[in-house]
Structure 1
């Protein structure tokens, strides 16, 4: 009896070097990072039409560039049009802000680039990046030059490579922090971003390093979270294999404690393991989470230790987690007696003009440091007198004491610019926030709402109280209209690890986009009136009352 041959998953460590899909083929031809030379020497001079497909829709991502959606194409045609029909001759450009750190000088340059080259667009993402739109290929070399002159870059902001490294926006200033992880983040970025040995991974590689649990660490390929070891003292707990999109999976603990000085080494070892053992056959199975699901964390740790580190890791305890995610909005005291002030734009949408005004305000109040958060918010650090700053921030619609709805709603880029989107998100979210603020002005219920334009979960659909996944639904007249599939009861960073959960999809629960304010209002009122007591969270109520899950 012959044994069935195991399917080739394209793992380099097993000798599989033959590219098994189009993306692997163009990566095998050339290191995608080398496309920069052609941008500077050819494409910026000869224009959009001179860019071949493998660079336009492939390698340019390694420099933070995606073609954006052509205006006027509705969501119903997203999956039916060829890329050249769907895309505009402009780009979205993603600027890395590792750890969320910005100086006033960097903020001013971002603002200037936005107004000069991006039609005044700028969005704060839920990965602590800044995104521009309407970028022309002719302007890209000048934008790169000016970003790099102030210590910023777009290097590997997209692509199958190490993406931006998330960090605590209050690293180094929080009274609750024991170890500042900033040095580890900077070493990872300085040594490995742009390194050809890690520029061809099976898929994107998302990282977070923070002492405080104020980053969504459970949805990353790799995360290091602060923990006190009973023998060795403060260090970091390793988490691996998280990710959302169409097959969500929360990260797991291999049970390893890592001292601060070894975080970059362990990070690089995990990235190398992913490079060599990760699946490269199917794009939709190429994230690290699929390898972890098949191997289990015990085998993963064994291979990491024996093949990549050459030594065992120290066993470590679980971290202590807060009852809910921490966004740092409001006025808070720093460890040095000064203050940091967290402000909320609506779903991260700002503009170059507003960021220029922000830079003036920050400087006028004696600060030189700004932080972006993983919840589409921003902080101003090192403030002596916070209340005058609060007034000035709120004068430019950066609200320090926002409603719960503004504070707790996030949205992805959506149909306006994204080629994958099916529905509008940013404007829809802004309208929803304004309507709920009006209708539920007296209700102080903390409910998170995450709005996504497609199934890819860039706005973390599955880990919100109310997650809204964009799709076409049947409207009242029987025609297809913009709408959402509803996820209920998701959440991260909860007091017990087993309470961190992906949202449930109650069977058949969908809502037309035009009905969204009514729908969320009814859910909020239902929760307020139907919870068992004030300690029952929305997620607990939703799971208890909305049965019949897919």
Structure 2
């Protein structure tokens, strides 16, 4: 545990009330661990597990791993055990974690908004092929996620990653999770400010740092100066959002306390102006508040969003300024909404006259061969590299104008489309029951099948409609903020059998609108009936909308019967 900067007296001076019962807030004197997670972190800084992986576990094998490391500290190295095959969703919450464990690992490789060189992408492809049975998913946190990784192979994987400037450190755990950045940072014509230098400095100073390795829970960061809000700032713990000041020019607003899962909350906009060279210090201030004042007693209340909700914007800003930054922040209006979609799909001219190309795999699922092929094409066409997006997509940057058409055609041959259908462009899915121990239903393949079906049923959709498919309530694919959000659960079909299905959220969004999806009472859809249900609701929208009305706006006033879909569908009613 790092030395605490603040005592109960300091807290009293800033008018922070002491809770009637301890919530495990260090700054208020509650330093004794209140649950097994906190005890594990106190027993040993999770960063120390790296050496045990390198010098003990990788040499002695899976059975040598201390359970406290396996199901706890390994996360700080980007490693989770994956789900044992053959365990159905009904057993997810009934079995102990060790009963769900396979002897293989999911590995998250963080990119932190960096431009990936052809060499880096080729290294990712080779690692996938050689050590992960070809698996690779682009996540909505700009990670590459692998599966089937064996503990014996981890040191070589790390060595290959480090050779191209990549790592897995603190990709999971109660730590500074991978940062989201704009995939078009430094090249977009309409960019307000390039946040890359700030992210690089935050990572240099605070990642793999014991002072910031023990938060109450995960801590998610977004830094983007693009007006599309392409770093999903609304749902991050801390977000720096590009903004203009009338006197001082481009800088960043500060948003805090966003997060989804079972208690979704949008980030609060503090309405400030921060110059780029002060962003790392402000990040450290917010992170320190979370470390020192965050709730550690209950894991279910341990995210920053709960502290922000209890304190309010004024108190949070006061503590940040007075106790951590020791200076006032300059007030400035916050951006109201995104100016355009933030997925960057398609061909766009850069400010230097070259072009970037936004590409859509199917729900982020790629593989080692595809990544290797992408690296070959980047080299062949002289592109600068690629970045991953917050929407399970990727963007190729630095393409000469006379090379664009040929490169787009060649990229499509390896499975990356620059002109995808709405359904391929606008559908995301989490890992699901295939590999995830928390999942209840299958997601990746189900979402891919849904895309293929809707491309046949509704091929000429004239407006964007997003579909986010989640395997459990944790909302890793943001089910509450999609036009059609699907939260996996077990439901009853028309014959009373328990089957895979989804709770439906309708009309949510972030970016151009910020709204949680509407839930219909006792309305759930079976996985088997999903294609019919989505088609029916979208056709109802197309028939009932007013001119220029978006799907999300239509949901706000549509008759509930139109949202429930055809009664002949397999809809479970409780």
d(CA) in 1 for partners of 2:560, 2:534: 18
Cα drift, residue 445 of structure 1: 2.9
CA gap 1:468/1:118 in 2 versus in 1, 3 angstroms = same
Query: Does residue 488 in structure 1 map to residue 506 in structure 2?
Result: yes
SS in 2 for 1:49: helix
Query: Does residue 256 in structure 1 map to residue 269 in structure 2?
Result: no
d(CA) in 1 for partners of 2:485, 2:193: 33
Q: Hey, what does 1:437 align to over in structure 2? A: 455
SS in 2 for 1:234: strand
CA gap 1:324/1:339 in 2 versus in 1, 3 angstroms = closer
Q: Hey, what does 2:557 align to over in structure 1? A: 544
d(CA) in 2 for partners of 1:509, 1:286: 30
Query: Does residue 454 in structure 1 map to residue 454 in structure 2?
Result: no
Q: 2:52 aligns with which of 31, 34, 38?
A: 38
SS in 1 for 2:522: coil
Q: Hey, what does 1:11 align to over in structure 2? A: 25
Cα drift, residue 443 of structure 1: 2.4
Q: Hey, what does 2:366 align to over in structure 1? A: 350
Q: Hey, what does 1:214 align to over in structure 2? A: 230
Asked if the contact 2:192/2:243 (under 8 Å) is kept, the reply is: no
d(CA) in 2 for partners of 1:269, 1:244: 23
d(CA) in 1 for partners of 2:59, 2:26: 38
Q: Hey, what does 1:201 align to over in structure 2? A: 215
d(CA) in 2 for partners of 1:11, 1:442: 54
Q: Hey, what does 2:95 align to over in structure 1? A: 81
Query: Does residue 235 in structure 1 map to residue 251 in structure 2?
Result: yes
SS in 2 for 1:146: helix
Cα drift, residue 368 of structure 1: 3.1
Q: Hey, what does 1:472 align to over in structure 2? A: 490
Asked if the contact 1:506/1:546 (under 8 Å) is kept, the reply is: no
d(CA) in 1 for partners of 2:48, 2:135: 28
Asked if the contact 1:408/1:449 (under 8 Å) is kept, the reply is: yes
Asked if the contact 1:108/1:355 (under 8 Å) is kept, the reply is: yes
Q: Hey, what does 1:374 align to over in structure 2? A: 390
d(CA) in 1 for partners of 2:477, 2:342: 17
Asked if the contact 1:228/1:319 (under 8 Å) is kept, the reply is: no
Q: Hey, what does 1:426 align to over in structure 2? A: 444
C-alpha deviations, 1:410-450, integer Å up to 9, x for none?
00000100000000000000000000001111222311000
d(CA) in 2 for partners of 1:455, 1:324: 29
SS in 1 for 2:268: coil
d(CA) in 1 for partners of 2:231, 2:324: 27
Q: Hey, what does 1:388 align to over in structure 2? A: 406
d(CA) in 1 for partners of 2:341, 2:432: 24
Q: 1:307 aligns with which of 323, 347, 352?
A: 323
d(CA) in 2 for partners of 1:20, 1:123: 36
d(CA) in 1 for partners of 2:462, 2:432: 28
Asked if the contact 2:222/2:231 (under 8 Å) is kept, the reply is: yes
Q: How does 1:260-279 map to 2 (within 5 A)?
A: 260-279=276-295
SS in 2 for 1:509: strand
More displaced stretch, 226-235 vs 403-412: 226-235
CA gap 1:328/1:266 in 2 versus in 1, 3 angstroms = same
Cα drift, residue 30 of structure 1: 0.9
d(CA) in 2 for partners of 1:186, 1:333: 25
Q: Hey, what does 1:295 align to over in structure 2? A: 311
Unaligned runs of at least 5 residues, structure 2? 1-17, 564-573
d(CA) in 2 for partners of 1:427, 1:100: 29
The two structures have a TM-score, normalised by structure 2, of 0.93
d(CA) in 2 for partners of 1:381, 1:7: 53
Asked if the contact 2:272/2:334 (under 8 Å) is kept, the reply is: no
d(CA) in 2 for partners of 1:188, 1:47: 35
Asked if the contact 2:38/2:296 (under 8 Å) is kept, the reply is: yes
Query: Does residue 517 in structure 1 map to residue 531 in structure 2?
Result: yes
SS in 1 for 2:490: strand
Q: Hey, what does 1:124 align to over in structure 2? A: 138
Query: Does residue 92 in structure 1 map to residue 106 in structure 2?
Result: yes
Q: Hey, what does 2:521 align to over in structure 1? A: 507
CA gap 1:324/1:335 in 2 versus in 1, 3 angstroms = closer
d(CA) in 2 for partners of 1:170, 1:445: 24
SS in 2 for 1:91: strand
SS in 2 for 1:290: helix
Q: Hey, what does 1:137 align to over in structure 2? A: 151
The two structures have a TM-score, normalised by structure 1, of 0.97
Query: Does residue 192 in structure 1 map to residue 240 in structure 2?
Result: no
C-alpha deviations, 1:72-124, integer Å up to 9, x for none?
11111111111121110000000000014211111010100000000000000
C-alpha deviations, 1:25-53, integer Å up to 9, x for none?
00001100001111111111111111121
Q: 1:404 aligns with which of 418, 422, 434?
A: 422
CA gap 1:258/1:546 in 2 versus in 1, 3 angstroms = farther
Cα drift, residue 546 of structure 1: 4.9
Q: Hey, what does 1:21 align to over in structure 2? A: 35
d(CA) in 2 for partners of 1:323, 1:98: 24
More displaced stretch, 315-324 vs 513-522: 315-324
Asked if the contact 1:100/1:128 (under 8 Å) is kept, the reply is: no
SS in 2 for 1:451: strand
CA RMSD of aligned residues (A): 1.5
Unaligned runs of at least 5 residues, structure 1? none
Asked if the contact 1:463/1:501 (under 8 Å) is kept, the reply is: yes
